[in-house]
């Protein structure tokens, strides 16, 4: 749901006129920052309190972590904006997503997979029929971030072992490019850049 410094809800409203459920795959600011704009918002219970209380540390946007910097913005969202002012907006979840929940859109359905490691409440959405995974930050084709608040490497490893058993044709990650089965099944190489 983006950072929440520009209105994602208004942009989406200009594209579609259907009811919206904003889903945060996890609490980090680049996924949960815009949830406050939506009437219906969902997150895993392990991160619901961090959203309610606008826990900037759990959201990885506290100043001392240094993840929100002015140079990350190609264009400032509004005059006078500085990254040092950024905080996660409080939002009350209207739905808590659990492992095994199914989000039925009529023409396709997504199963909620609880896949902690990157953060305690990381989820992905899996379309079993098409073998597609909307992975958020659980899996992506870039540098692994496993040293963030709430990250846990042994749990992350268990999540990857679970994912290796899942039939997947396409991964739609939250960062970097979409990739297919061959890249998904390729063994990781920590020396590869």
Collect all residues with Cβ–Cβ distance below 8 Å to 44 and sequence separation of at least 6: 26, 96, 97, 98, 114, 120, 121, 122, 123
pLDDT at 13: 65
pLDDT at 77: 73
Residue range(s) occupied by CATH 3.60.15.10 in the chain = 98-185
Which of the 8 DSSP states describes residue 70? G
In degrees and rounded to multiples of 5, residue 102 shows phi and psi of -120, 130
- Tokens 């039925």 locate to 104
pLDDT at 110: 97
pLDDT at 190: 46
- Tokens 């396409």 locate to 170
pLDDT at 112: 98
Residue 48 has, within 13 A of its CA and on its CB side, a CA count of: 13
Per-position pLDDT tens, the chain of length 193? 455 556 566 556 666 777 788 899 999 988 888 888 889 999 999 999 999 999 988 988 888 887 877 777 777 777 887 777 777 899 999 999 999 999 998 889 999 999 999 999 999 999 999 999 999 999 888 888 888 888 999 999 999 899 989 999 999 998 888 888 888 777 654 444 4
**For the whole model, what pTM was predicted?**
0.84
**Is the CATH code 3.60.15.10 the one for domain 98-185?**
yes
In degrees and rounded to multiples of 5, residue 8 shows phi and psi of -70, -35
């Amino acid at each position: 749901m983006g950072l929440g410094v520009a209105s994602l809800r208004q942009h989406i409203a200009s594209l579609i006129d259907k009811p919206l459920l904003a889903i945060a795959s996890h609490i980090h600011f680049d996924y949960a920052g815009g949830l406050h704009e939506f009437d219906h918002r969902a997150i895993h219970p392990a991160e619901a309190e961090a959203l309610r209380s606008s826990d900037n540390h759990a959201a990885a946007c506290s100043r001392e972590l240094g993840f929100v910097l002015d140079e990350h913005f190609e264009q400032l969202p509004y005059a006078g904006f500085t990254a040092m002012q950024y905080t996660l907006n409080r939002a009350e979840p209207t739905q808590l997503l659990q492992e095994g929940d199914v989000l039925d859109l009529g023409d396709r359905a997504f199963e909620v997979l609880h896949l902690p490691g990157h953060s305690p409440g990381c989820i992905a959405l899996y379309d079993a029929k098409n073998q597609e995974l909307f992975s958020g930050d659980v899996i992506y084709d870039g540098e692994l971030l496993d040293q963030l608040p709430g990250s846990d490497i042994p749990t992350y490893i268990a999540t990857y072992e679970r994912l290796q058993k899942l039939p997947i044709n396409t991964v739609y990650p939250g960062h970097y490019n979409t990739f297919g089965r061959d890249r998904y099944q390729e063994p990781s190489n920590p020396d590869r850049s």
